[in-house]
Amino acid sequence: MLIPDLSPLWISLKVSLLATVIAFGVGTSVAYKMYHYRGKARSIVEGFLIAPLILPPTVVGFVLLVLLGKNGVLGQILAQWNLRLVFTWYAAVLAAIVVSFPLMYRAALGAFEQIDSLLLDAARCEGASELTVFWYIALPLAMPGILAGTLLTFARALGEFGATLMLAGNIPGQTQTMPMAIYFAVEAGAIEEGWFWTTIVVGISLVGIMAANSWKV
């Protein structure tokens, strides 16, 4: 069969890798903050952080579009600097970060909560700064859980479709990811093309799972 234009593969990898890196950084640090935070607003804040996982992607896409669209609050601020996000590949990255963030956050929080907090306190007693405690005690101890979360985050980012289509649009060669290519191929009755992309996505997923298993401690 004819091999279709491979751009959806590169776009998907570019978008989901970048989204994973950002979600990893933000998710881990927010989780560490929340691990220490015991204030009244905890459940509300946690609710907001987890919400994109529970909401349908179309709801996430709609809200982002309303905020970032040309007439949206954030969209107008961006427009002042002559920037636009909607219908660019950055929008695809943003959509992927938002929907995959809760997985990263939950995983990191769970991993931090499993650490024996006496170890952290012991370090503090010895005079370690909070930053040192984080980098040399908390993060290494939580790393297995965080890595598992990173993998889930990448998988979710790679599979993101609904919010991405709404926010980044279907622009072949720019924002058309593999899930989008599959959707439009099937709608057009191009079953072979649908199979081609499905095979690639399944292949990437299998490799990911095998990699995760080989990391197992």
Partner 1 sequence: MLVENIFHMRTKFWHGLLSVFVTVLLIADAQLTSTALRNQQIALPPAPTSTILVAAAASLQKALQEITPLYTRANPSQTINYNFAASGVLARQIERGAPVDVFIAAADKQMNDLQKQGLLASDKIDLLTNQLVLIVPWQSTNLTSFRQLLQPEIKRISIGEPRTVPAGQYATEVLKSLGLLELVKSKLVLSNNVKSVLTTVETGDVEAGIVYITDAKSSDKVKVVVIADRKLHSPIRYPIAVLKSSKSIAARQYVEFLQGQSAKAVFKKYGFGIAKP
Residue numbers at the binding site for partner 1 (CB under 8 A) = 65, 69-71, 84, 86-87, 106-107, 109-111, 113-114, 144-145, 147-149, 152, 165, 169-174, 184, 186-190, 212, 215-216
**Cβ 194 to partner 1 shortest distance, Å:** 11
By beta-carbon proximity to partner 1, the closer residue of 16 and 153 is 153
Is the Cβ of residue 22 or residue 165 nearer to partner 1 in the bound state?
165
Specify the residue, 110 or 128, whose C-beta has the smaller distance to partner 1. 110
Torsion over CA: 35, 39, 41, 43 (sign): positive
User: Which C-beta is closer to partner 1: that of 98 or that of 146?
Assistant: 146
CA distance 217 to 201: 27
Which residues contact residue 133 at a Cβ distance below 8 angstroms, ignoring those fewer than 6 apart?
120, 123, 124
Is residue 174 within 8 Å of residue 146, measured between CB atoms?
Answer: no
Q: Let me know: does 208 contact 17? Beta carbons within 8 Å.
A: no
How far apart are CB 13 and partner 1 at their closest, in Å? Answer: 20
To the nearest 10°, report the CA torsion of 64, 105, 162, 213. Answer: 160
Name the minimum Å distance from CB 122 to partner 1. Answer: 23
Min CB(111)–partner 1 separation in Å: 7
The answer to whether 112 touches 34, Cβ cutoff 8 Å, is no
CB of 125 to partner 1, least distance (A): 26
Of residues 55 and 128, the one with the C-beta less far from partner 1: 55
Helix 42-54 vs helix 7-36: angle between axes, to the nearest 10 degrees? Answer: 160
